[in-house]
Amino acid sequence: MSQYILTVSCMSTRGIVAAISGYLAEKGCNIIDSSQFDDLQNTKFFMRVTFVSEDGATQAEIREGFEKVAKQFEMSFELVDASRPMKVILMVSRFGHCLNDLLYRWRIGALPIDIVGVVSNHHDYQKQVVNHDIPFHHITVTKANKPQAEARLMEVVEQSGAELVVLARYMQILSDALCQKMSGRIINIHHSFLPSFKGANPYKQAYERGVKLIGATAHYVTADLDEGPIIEQDTVRITHAQSAEDYVSLGRDVEAQVLARAIHAHIHHRTFINGNRTVVFPASPGSYASERMG
Ligand SMILES: Nc1nc2c(c(=O)[nH]1)N[C@@H](CN(C=O)c1ccc(C(=O)N[C@@H](CCC(=O)O)C(=O)O)cc1)CN2
């Protein structure tokens, strides 16, 4: 029996949950997981429902019928097949620890995505990517050719059908136009606990500030560098005896883990952009179960 995920956002009002659950029940669907959030600051409402269709109603039939409920509450909604892996492009520059981590998680089934390509402005990881039978696209980026480089990137995105682009330590600033075009579909890992230490060389900035914690932040990419809605963060303790170079080593694991958690949330449709913040619902039961042991 297929599992579906329905995500809804709209202005908050009475009766939304009843309307959604009543519609699904009437359609012969059984809700197996549900999360909702009512933002009392801006009266926005967010809901994520996982359900199975028990009487044979197809995804198209369920979606068509839901349009009426959506219109009644002026909802934005998505209805997806929970088993269909999201098409994802990974982007990397010189530091490959996040790319390596994502490739490993993908290989063992812990990250159920369809990696449709890896893009880099360097050749460092080409062999490794090709060995995974994943298309590798080298796109040279210079200050002079950024528009052409981004046009090529968009070609790769469109031709591959990518639904998400992950900047796995890709170190080029994307144009406002590209950020707008791909709003909500690009995730970056920044190697600091934002909002501290935005931009380049955050570990150097942290060392010079004498912090006792360094960290990593996964966020949606916007035109404002490292200021997009935060999806996931974590930290690791450091001491006075460690150097900025030590921070690079200590930061690798936390960067990779934070990025993987953020991608897991996004591909399972648990994230909702709410202004400059992100609503992140908890993982559904069994959503980590795809991992092939061994
Ligand atoms: N429009 C955006 N683009 C990017 C974002 C973002 O939030 N908005 N995040 C960055 C990642 N990043 C830090 O996490 C970052 C990357 C690069 C730079 C930077 O100064 N790059 C220089 C070139 C550096 C080089 O050639 O090695 C530049 O682009 O001029 C700062 C922060 C990814 N892009």
Q: Where are the domains of the chain?
A: 2-83, 86-280
pLDDT for the residue 177: 97
Is 226 in the active site? yes
**Closest Cα to atom 20 of ligand 1:** 200
Q: How far does residue 237's CA lie from ligand 1's centre (Å)?
A: 25
Query: What are the helix and strand counts (H, E) for the chain?
Result: 8, 13
How far does the centroid of ligand 1 lie from the alpha carbon of residue 131, in Å? Answer: 28
Instruction: Report, as an integer, the average pLDDT of 276-291.
Output: 84
Ligand 1 neighbours by CB, cut-off 6 Å: 167, 170-174, 179, 188, 190, 199-200, 221, 223, 225-226, 228
pLDDT digits (tens, 9 = 90+) for 30-80: 999 999 999 999 999 999 999 999 999 999 999 999 999 999 999 999 999
Architecture of the domain delimited by 2-83? 2-Layer Sandwich (3.30)
Cβ–Cβ under 8 Å, residues 5 and 48: yes
Instruction: Please state the rounded mean pLDDT for residues 254-268.
Output: 98
Q: How large is the ipTM?
A: 0.92
Q: Which residues pair with 82 in a beta bridge?
A: none
How far apart are the CA of 199 and the centre of ligand 1, in A? 6
Over residues 98-145, the pLDDT tens digits come to 999 999 999 999 999 999 999 999 999 999 999 999 999 999 999 999
Residue-averaged pLDDT of the chain: 96
Taking the CA of residue 141 as reference, the ligand 1 atom at the shortest distance is: 26
Sole residue written with tokens 């926005």: 44
pTM: 0.96
Can you tell me the distance from the alpha carbon of 67 to that of 76, in angstroms, rounded to the nearest whole number? 10
What does the pLDDT read at residue 52? Answer: 98
Same fold, 2-83 and 86-280: no
Mutate to test the pocket of ligand 1, among 173, 181, 230, 276 (most ligand atoms within 8 A of CB): 173
Is the CATH number of domain 86-280 3.40.50.170? yes
Q: Are 32 and 62 in contact (CB under 8 A)?
A: no
Query: pLDDT value at position 38?
Result: 98
Element (H, E) at 286: none
Please give the distance of CA 152 from its chain centroid, rounded to a whole number: 22
Is 19 within 8 Å of 69 (Cβ atoms)?
yes
**pLDDT of 292 strictly over 70:** no
Specify the pLDDT at position 286: 76
Length of the chain: 294
Q: Give per-residue pLDDT as tens, 157-207.
A: 999 999 999 999 999 999 999 999 999 999 999 999 999 999 999 999 999
Q: What's residue 290's pLDDT?
A: 62
